[in-house]
Amino acid sequence: MTSILTNVAAMAALQTLRGISSNLQDTQNRVSSGYRVEKAADNAAYWSIATTMRSDNKALSAVSDALGLGAAKVDTAYTAMDNAIDVVSEIKSKIVAATEKGVDKTKIQEEISQLQAQLMSISQSASFSGENWVAGNTTKSVVSTFVRDGNGNVSVKTTDYVLNAASNGNVLFGMTTTGTIDSSTGIIGSSNGTIGSIYTMNITSFGQTEIAMALTAIESGLEAMTKAASQLGSISNRIELQENFVAALGDSIDSGVGRLVDADMEEESSRLTALQTQQQLAIQSLSIANSSAQNVLTLFRS
């Protein structure tokens, strides 16, 4: 039966066209944005996971920056300690030269005094971002990583380095409560009895006994400085490993989020072509359905 009031065929064709147009719009959005899940309405579970992981990745990016800052501080301290070792080794060679009879110790002391002043200059200059790791007696910390545990709790982990201003500690000098270098503490500032510290000793009036004591004190100082440099090198190596891990972790998170929300462009391209074809056929079908009612007019023609 043909009705001019209700065109069932046209209604069915229109409904099909609406469904195809909706699917076509979704596919076009995926192709243009590159996302399969762009908003919560697309897939609430995947969108929630992706949003959380993106937030964590931003935190990891901040951790990477903090690690870079920490690495710079440690590298500055290591460079200072390494240079100080060279200077103290030079002082050692001067004192060895003073053991020879008839040597003018006053001239040798003039050279040693310049080297001692250089040690203070190194200690004062070894500061990065307001922190000095070769002078002081506090605990220094660098950010190491950002952690989310199985319960969803988040935390930032740090690596600590305790500055020890004892004679066999790990800093060249200590530091006063006012923030100035204390030249009477630390590896080269601590006194070694009657011969004084590496920083203050004056060999002008030293006899062979005092010279031998000075060499012993310098050897102990070099051993402590070498140990401190090794500790700084170990921390620098750990920070480098952590930087590489954080970078790899960030890439893994990006990859995982992509698997959840990114569109498969090959698949979407094929779907887009198919839907465009279906849309054309649906429009043609609707046109045919609409024209069927007009055929009724032929019944009333004379």
Q: Which helix (H) or strand (E) segment is 160 a member of?
A: strand 154-162
Q: Which residues of the chain have pLDDT under 70?
A: 1-6, 293, 296, 299-302
Please tell me the predicted confidence (pLDDT) of residue 269: 82
Of 189, 228, 221, nearest to 79 by C-alpha is 228
The pLDDT assigned to 293 comes to 66
What residue type is 46 in one-letter code? Y
pLDDT of residue 56: 85
Gap between the Cα atoms of 195 and 205, Å rounded: 10
**Tokens read off for 176:** 């006063």
Residue 271: the pLDDT is: 83
Domain ranges of the chain: 8-31+268-295, 70-240
List the one residue out of 201, 3, 193, 5 whose CA is nearest residue 98: 201
Quote the CA–CA distance of 74 and 233 in Å, as a whole number: 8
Cα 66 → chain centroid = 5
Model pLDDT for residues 9-21, shown as the tens digit of each residue: 778 878 888 888 8
pLDDT of residue 74: 93
Q: Quick one: pLDDT at residue 259? A: 87
CB 67 within 8 A of CB 156: no
Let me know: does 60 contact 146? Beta carbons within 8 Å. Answer: yes
pLDDT at 5: 64
Task: Give the fold, CATH level 3, of 70-240.
Answer: f41 fragment of flagellin, N-terminal domain (1.20.1330)
